Amino acid sequence: MDNASILIEVGKLVDAWCDRRCLISLRYILRGYPISATLTDGWAELLDSLKDVRSFAHENHSEAEKEMIDKLVGELSRIVYRT
């Protein structure tokens, strides 16, 4: 998954959470999205935000959203930690 695809997928999640008024999910994701800089710090902030969404708001997500969050966390970890 390339950087643009990551941002598109996060945007889809944010749109869905806005539509459903998943305020806890939005509270955590909006700390890191939209990404302010495409340098490592910006990606790291988005990664931390998604980890918090996964930890603190998981009951608000569908199985498909949980799978996408896990996939995005993996992809962002590779960007941030260059693994």
pLDDT of 30 > 90? The answer is yes
Q: CA separation (Å) from 52 to 47, 70, 80? A: 9, 12, 16
Q: Give how many domains the chain has, as a whole number.
A: 1
Range of the domain at 20: 3-81
- CA gap 47, 70 in Å, rounded: 11
pLDDT of 37 > 70? The answer is yes
- CA gap 5, 8 in Å, rounded: 5
Q: What is the DSSP letter of 21?
A: T
pLDDT at residue 40 in the model: 87
- CA gap 46, 28 in Å, rounded: 10
How many CB atoms within 10 Å of residue 73?
A: 17
pLDDT of 32 > 70? The answer is yes
Q: Lowest-confidence range among 17-26, 32-41, 66-75? A: 32-41
